[in-house]
Amino acid sequence: MGLFNKLKNEFIDIIDWLDPSNNTIVYRFPRYQNEIKMGAKLTVRESQVAVFINEGQIADIYQPGMYTLTTENMPILATLKGWKYGFNSPFKAEVYFVNTKKFLDNKWGTPNPVMVRDPEFGPVRLRAFGVYEYRVEDAGKFIKDIVGTDGDFTVEKINNQLRNIIITRFSDAVAESKIPVLDMASNYNEFSEKIGQVIIDEYKEYGLNMTKFLVSNISLPEEVEKAMDKRSSMGVLGDLNRYTQFQAANAMEAAATNPGGGAAASGMGMGMGFAMAGQMMNAMNPQQNMYQQPQQPMYQQQQPVAPPPMPAQSTYFVAVNGQQSGPFDMNALSSMVANGQLTKDTLVWKQGMPAWAAAGTVQELSSLFGAVPPPMPGMPPVPPQM
């Protein structure tokens, strides 16, 4: 009786699998040289598929449910083994459980920037990342082509290959889209749908089904994003000349209220502040100031006079390639003349001028171009070069 029980325990009569890892795709049921008892109970839970393999060949595949293994519900294995009807002896077979649930939150990203030609910025490098989901659709094909004899196949063993497919198709889709970089954020759904349709067909070659593909972000290099932020700030500020005046007024106000500057700093700050206020009032009420007569004080009191502020140096805007550039002070303009960037024919403008004018016609700038010497005695005048 003891020998009979020992032999009985060597036969497998219950076959099932519970996944404690949450990342296992394929699991081989441990048989340990034991044989499967004819009439054994096979339990295949929801989101599972059981695959029986006989001598390296895929035999019967069982969908979710509970089965009592007999020759009737193992037709392929019975044919391969040559079993006759009513065969009740134990048999050997490998049993693989395939997890058919969705594997979520798999992240992808471009390891290297994707070079594209943008219509506004020119050649730029883009990076992107997102998530994707997939599940096993054809268990037999997946085991045959991907898993092989691996008895513990996890998502980490295939995700690298799946990500490589995504990155290749994404890079190609971005380059062919011709969508400007600034408009890509409004086309994430289009990118996701277009790339997902291509990837679905490739995943089917592995027996997988791409259930979702998402593009989470497409970004530019950090230095390009900083340049874009500066450009946006300039657009928000608007008139840079008025912004400069506003900043100067704030600086003078801060100097006047600085207790560490002493009486001299306070007086200078107040004087400059009143001067700035007077200019602003004149600019706001030109007609009223035209007829307003200065009022004479009833008496004058001797007060220490603070030195007037240094005269502001003239600054000019310069037309470069049809675009407004500047403002530039006289030192910068002199350097531009020396470099050939500013000629007499270059259009310039400063505050107070009614319109743009050639630099050679502005008296204040005539000294930058130097004087042309007269012809030597007895020599004909040199005609101007075209």
Sorted by sequence, the CB contacts under 8 Å of residue 236 that are 6+ apart come out as none
Sorted by sequence, the CB contacts under 8 Å of residue 204 that are 6+ apart come out as 137, 138
Tokens matching residue 137: 């659709």
Tokens matching residue 124: 């730029």
| pLDDT above 80: residue 72 | yes
Tokens matching residue 19: 């996944």
Strands (E), the chain: 11-15, 24-28, 35-44, 48-54, 57-62, 65-68, 94-99, 103-109, 114-118, 122-136, 152-154, 208-219, 316-320, 323-328, 347-349, 357-358
User: Model confidence over 15-53: pLDDT tens digits?
Assistant: 999 988 889 999 999 876 668 888 999 999 999 999 999
Topology of the domain covering 316-367 = Dna Ligase; domain 1 (3.30.1490)
Residue 336 pLDDT class (50, 70, 90 cuts): confident
When the pLDDT of each residue in the chain is averaged and rounded to a whole number, the result is 78
* Higher pLDDT pick, 284 / 146: 146
Average pLDDT over residues 90-115: 90
User: Model confidence over 186-208: pLDDT tens digits?
Assistant: 788 887 888 888 888 889 999 99
Distance CA 16, CA 29 (A): 8
The most confident of 55-59, 219-223, 352-356, by mean pLDDT: 55-59
User: Model confidence over 222-254: pLDDT tens digits?
Assistant: 777 676 666 666 665 555 666 666 677 777 767
Average pLDDT over residues 277-281: 55
Average pLDDT over residues 325-339: 82
Measured CA to CA in angstroms, residue 212 lies from 97, 134, 135, 142, 164 at distances of 24, 7, 10, 19, 16
Average pLDDT over residues 118-141: 88
Beta bridge mates, 325: 318
Average pLDDT over residues 130-157: 92
Average pLDDT over residues 331-357: 83
* Higher pLDDT pick, 76 / 321: 76
Average pLDDT over residues 277-293: 52
Question: For the chain, which residues make up each domain, given as ranges?
Answer: 2-99, 103-225, 239-281, 316-367
pLDDT given for residue 298 in this prediction: 45
CATH 3.90.1170.50 matches 103-225? no
| pLDDT above 70: residue 113 | yes
Distance CA 258, CA 266 (A): 7
| pLDDT above 60: residue 261 | no
pLDDT given for residue 354 in this prediction: 85
pTM of the model: 0.55
